[in-house]
Amino acid sequence: MTLHNPITQVFLPVAVVLVMFALGTTLTTADLRRVLRRPRAFFLGLLAHALLLPLIAFAVAFGLGLHGALAVGLILIASCPANASANLFTHLARGDTMLSICLTAAATLTSVLTVPFFVNAALRLFPSGHAAVHLPVLASALGLFLVSTLPVLAGMWLRQRRPDAARAVEARMGAFGLAVIAAVIAAAVWSEKDNVLPALARAGGPALLTNVLSVSLAWGASALLGLHRRERIAVGLECGLQNFAMAAFIALTLLADASLLLPAIAYGLTMWLSAGLVVLLARRATAATDTMAA
């Protein structure tokens, strides 16, 4: 199992940058101010992603009696920050895109502390013979800025300076975003085709259970706190779409154990089910609301 693949190393990062730029053309500084005026949704989303997900993974591992690499790998993928596609799915579901982007950025930055903490705890509880994990702080922050933050800022700049051009990009974003998602799934499956079936056989059930519980509990907590539907969509999707690339980096580079990546592969394939369901239900609910209003 390797990450030295031109598709995953070149095409996918470039595609993500383009998607984030397109997302930026839909946003304004007023959106950012709105998120900051309602910090409750932001802090709930960050706590749910940074703490709730790893704890759910621990509970699933103990509840299902998982051992060794399978348990550690499940906790590893649950501890990683959200995938940039969470922002795109939030936009497609007509959720609060700016809130989603803020949560992705914050979760990625805090993951420098939370991922080593939870993975080290998992390594102690489910021994696999590895030393402590240490994430490169500067590299993680720079990667986030280049792939996510900078393209969004560029898109927002275009929206402010050239609104007509920004609207043209926004009009094409839906089809382009769906094409990128399809390419991401196809590339991930193809690049790890020899490991897909073993991963699903061994870790598919625990991965899907962790994903469903994470999205459901995050959505439920958002509803209990009285968050708007657009905010609930952002929080729910943020807690369902994990960063496979970071999990792969930790498993293959820092821990040098490809077996830890099996739960991440399984999660990476099954997480699209819950995300797609959220988008479908959210769009139907919005369409029904619009029909009633008309």
The CA–CA distances, whole Å, from 250 to 120, 140, 171 equal 12, 12, 37
Q: Cα-flanking dihedrals φ and ψ of residue 82, to 5°?
A: -70, 155
Give residue 82's pLDDT.
82
Where helices occur in the chain by DSSP H, the ranges are 6, 12-24, 29-37, 39-47, 53-63, 68-79, 85-92, 97-125, 137-144, 150-161, 163-191, 193-224, 229-238, 244-249, 262-293
Confidence check: pLDDT of 26 > 60: yes
Q: What are the residues whose beta carbons fall under 8 Å from the beta carbon of 20, sequence distance 6 or more? A: 84, 87, 147, 148, 151, 152, 155
Lowest mean pLDDT among 53-57, 103-107, 133-137: 133-137
Helix 150-161 with 163-191: angle, nearest 10 deg: 160
Give residue 59's pLDDT.
96
Task: Identify whether 75 is part of a domain.
Answer: yes
Amino acid at 90: T
CA proximity to 88, closest of 191, 293, 233:
233
pLDDT tens-digit series, residues 126-149: 876 655 555 555 665 676 577 767
Q: What is the extent of the structural domain holding 178? A: 6-284
The CATH code of the domain that includes 206 is: 1.20.1530.20
Task: Identify whether 100 is part of a domain.
Answer: yes
CA proximity to 251, closest of 87, 22, 18, 72:
72
Confidence check: pLDDT of 58 > 90: yes
Give residue 178's pLDDT.
58
Task: Identify whether 292 is part of a domain.
Answer: no
Residue of higher predicted confidence among 64 and 258: 64
Helix 12-24 with 85-92: angle, nearest 10 deg: 40
Please tell me the distance from the alpha carbon of residue 243 to that of residue 84, in angstroms, as a whole number: 8
Retrieve residue 207's tokens: 């991965």
Whether the CB-CB separation of 220 and 58 falls below 8 Å is answered with no
DSSP code string of 94-108: T--HHHHHHHHHHHH
pLDDT band at 56 (very low <50, low <70, confident <90, very high): very high
Whether the CB-CB separation of 107 and 50 falls below 8 Å is answered with yes
Task: Identify whether 291 is part of a domain.
Answer: no
pLDDT band at 52 (very low <50, low <70, confident <90, very high): very high
Task: Identify whether 43 is part of a domain.
Answer: yes
The CA–CA distances, whole Å, from 20 to 88, 95, 151, 201, 221 equal 8, 16, 6, 34, 28
Total domain count for the chain? 1
Task: Identify whether 82 is part of a domain.
Answer: yes
Mean pLDDT, all residues of the chain: 77
Q: What is the mean pLDDT of residues 55-76?
A: 91
Confidence check: pLDDT of 78 > 80: yes
Task: Identify whether 260 is part of a domain.
Answer: yes
CA proximity to 135, closest of 48, 251, 241:
251
Task: Identify whether 290 is part of a domain.
Answer: no
Give residue 3's pLDDT.
45
Cα–Cα–Cα angle for 220, 225, 231, rounded to 5 degrees = 75
Please tell me the distance from the alpha carbon of residue 41 to that of residue 103, in angstroms, as a whole number: 10
Give residue 63's pLDDT.
93
pLDDT tens-digit series, residues 182-192: 665 566 556 65
Give residue 62's pLDDT.
93
Computed over its alpha carbons, how large is the radius of gyration of the chain?
A: 18
Whether the CB-CB separation of 155 and 20 falls below 8 Å is answered with yes
